[in-house]
Structure 1
Amino acid sequence: MSNKVAVLGSINVDTTYHVHRFPEPGETLAATDKSSAPGGKGANQAVAAVRSGSETYFIGMVGADSEGKFMRDALQEDHIDTTNVGNDPRHGTGTALVTLDENGQNDIMVYGGANQAMTKDVLSKSEEVMKKVDFLITQFETPQTVALEAFKMAKANGVITVLNPAPATEILPELLEYTDIIAPNETESALLTGIEITDDASLDQTAEYFRAKGVGVTLVTLGSKGAYYSTKDGSGTVPAFKVKAIDTTAAGDTFIGALISQLLPDFSNLADAITYAQRASSLTVQGMGAMPSIPTFDQVQEALK
């Protein structure tokens, strides 16, 4: 039985330009293809959770525009509850412009729009959601002040809070006091802690840094080297699956959504949940686009055999 998950976060329409290589400053390059797909860290994580079997609720904001309708429809198609997705009359729906080279590497420019303009009002009807769910996930494409309010509400209802501090930016110290699990990648981790990740000792040091600030579980994704975890009971690294990446967009989001769908609330199956999430993520990078490439529970299980 999968967990019930709420995601507070960003909703973007991703437009991807396919190029042989990234342009140099001032250079104009011809794109070989262009595609649009639903995305945004929050939306991707919700889709990863729901496709891995979780009952999933979304809390967020779109603009009163066609992109907003497109994104609401996309979430509903995946059976994600969008009751708590508001319409912002003043700001457009978030958009992301992705440049993707032939090695599967990307760079991304994001217009925050309604995501960044979100206020605590978005949480006005969220108490009902917090009474239903086991986990609440958020990221940094929406304001931290809203995340803090949501985490306080979650903790008051016994919900486990998960912070994916991406894109990395200075964290409100109080937010960490209400965070049960923090899950950065190695680059974000170094930016947040000032600890360069080079070996096991620096990973343990990173976990200590977050533990001192009130976070019980640290997860650091290490790309092709796997994922590190640290809890009060110990630490370890779960290896990654070797695949040829076509498009790395949403790899980290898939990892988090898939992991939280499988993780037991007492964290006793953490290593297994990480293996599941690594496999899900390895399938995502083999497909094009953010949401379209996120796998289902059955696809992940098949790949794990």
Structure 2
Amino acid sequence: MHNQVVVIGSSNIDLIARLSHLPKPGETVGNAESSQAHGGKGANQAVAAARAGAAVSFITSLGDDAFADSMLQDFKRSGINTDYVVQHKNTPTGTAYIWVDAQGENSIAVAPGANYKLSPDYIDECRILISGAELILLQLEIPFETVEYVIDLAASLGKKVMLNPAPAQKLERKHLKALYNLTVNETEAAMISGLPVDSPEQVMEAGKKLLSMGPEMVVITLGSRGVFYLTKREQKMVEAYPVKPVDTTAAGDVFCGVLASQIVQNKKMMEAIKYANAAAALSTTRLGAQPSAPNQQEIKAFLDQHEF
């Protein structure tokens, strides 16, 4: 199989409790509704890219529990190549414990589990796969040293790397310089650039600062304010699609995965961002992380209804 996108990142099981209010220390809230869903930034982005039409291989680390088995089945159903998914004995699959109150506010605790066993040594075992990729997509829910190792390896192989630095963390200039695409939200843009992003002018300044740090292209997602992207040759603001959100979980991951799928299909950047924007907007009208990622037909239908 020709591997257009190789996603390297995390897989979590999300254990969700919907409550009337978030418990205070020592308090028990007894009216919770529980559910579980597949999540993790790497997995969300891999699923989104595959459903949007890219040939996707996923490098991730799972435990040896029932959660891992159901995740693998789901990846395969989404058309993802799972040959490079590694499972570790006596290790739990990554787990996120999510409490959500009646207003939609949440508290989250993440137990990385097997995600933190995705090591540079294992990346070496995946060198053939990485060398055949058109684009490598990364986030920061796996060991930071592994992310840095992948960026260095990809640079030595002349590969395009797209990084979504979430959860937000500062990066060394040498790694930023090796990136083809840096996609950040407002929090990440402010942390890495050191500049505020409240007004359109501030977003532009932060974007220019990020671009000066080395990536070929910077994309800043701004929720309902849209998306700002810039390269050395152009800069544009792309409007958001108006929707009534039900659940914004993983909207950013859907955007990243779908944008990656469009880049490897050689779409013009404006079109690629509009397509990713539409997919992210559509995902917010559905519950859950991976279940909310739309397929190509759904994205096209949404675009037909919402053309500016």
What's the TM-score once normalised by structure 1's chain length? 0.92
Say which SS state the counterpart of residue 114 (structure 1) adopts. helix
State the match for 2:142 in structure 1.
142
Unaligned runs of 5+ in 2: none
Q: Hey, what's the Cα distance between the residues in 1 that align with 2:100 and 2:59?
A: 29
Unaligned runs of 5+ in 1: none
State the match for 1:112 in structure 2.
112
State the match for 1:243 in structure 2.
243
Q: Residue 163 in 1 paired to residue 168 in 2?
A: no
State the match for 1:28 in structure 2.
28
Q: Hey, what's the Cα distance between the residues in 1 that align with 2:153 and 2:134?
A: 13
Q: Hey, what's the Cα distance between the residues in 2 that align with 1:218 and 1:128?
A: 28
Q: Hey, what's the Cα distance between the residues in 2 that align with 1:238 and 1:198?
A: 17
Change over 3 Å in CA distance of 1:242–1:134 after alignment to 2: same
Q: Is contact 2:54-2:264 (8 Å) kept?
A: no
CA distances 1:103-157 after superposition (whole Å, capped 9, x unpaired): 5454422111111232112213322222332111111101221112222232333
Q: Is contact 1:17-1:32 (8 Å) kept?
A: yes
Q: Hey, what's the Cα distance between the residues in 2 that align with 1:18 and 1:222?
A: 27
Q: Is contact 2:211-2:231 (8 Å) kept?
A: no
Please say which of residues 128-137 and 277-286 is displaced more in the overlay.
128-137
Q: Hey, what's the Cα distance between the residues in 1 that align with 2:190 and 2:291?
A: 30
Say which SS state the counterpart of residue 274 (structure 2) adopts. helix
Change over 3 Å in CA distance of 1:91–1:128 after alignment to 2: same
State the match for 1:286 in structure 2.
285
State the match for 1:298 in structure 2.
297
Q: Hey, what's the Cα distance between the residues in 2 that align with 1:279 and 1:30?
A: 38
CA distances 1:150-197 after superposition (whole Å, capped 9, x unpaired): 222323333211110100123244321221211111012212222110
Say which SS state the counterpart of residue 129 (structure 2) adopts. helix
1:118 is aligned with what amino acid?
A: L
Q: Is contact 1:104-1:248 (8 Å) kept?
A: no
State the match for 2:218 in structure 1.
218
Q: Across the two proteins, how many residue pairs are aligned to each other?
A: 303
2:110 is aligned with what amino acid?
A: V
2:53 is aligned with what amino acid?
A: G
Q: Hey, what's the Cα distance between the residues in 1 that align with 2:242 and 2:248?
A: 13
Q: Hey, what's the Cα distance between the residues in 2 that align with 1:246 and 1:101?
A: 14
1:275 is aligned with what amino acid?
A: K
Change over 3 Å in CA distance of 1:245–1:105 after alignment to 2: farther
Report % sequence identity.
34
C-alpha deviation, 1:211, in angstroms: 2.4
CA distances 1:238-282 after superposition (whole Å, capped 9, x unpaired): 11111111111111000000111112587x711211111111111
What's the TM-score once normalised by structure 2's chain length? 0.91
1:278 is aligned with what amino acid?
A: N
Moved beyond 6 Å, runs of 4+:
none
2:176 is aligned with what amino acid?
A: L
Q: Hey, what's the Cα distance between the residues in 1 that align with 2:9 and 2:264?
A: 23
State the match for 2:180 in structure 1.
180
Change over 3 Å in CA distance of 1:270–1:204 after alignment to 2: same
Q: Hey, what's the Cα distance between the residues in 1 that align with 2:29 and 2:243?
A: 29
| Superposition pairs of residues 225-240 of structure 1, within 5 angstroms | 225-240=225-240
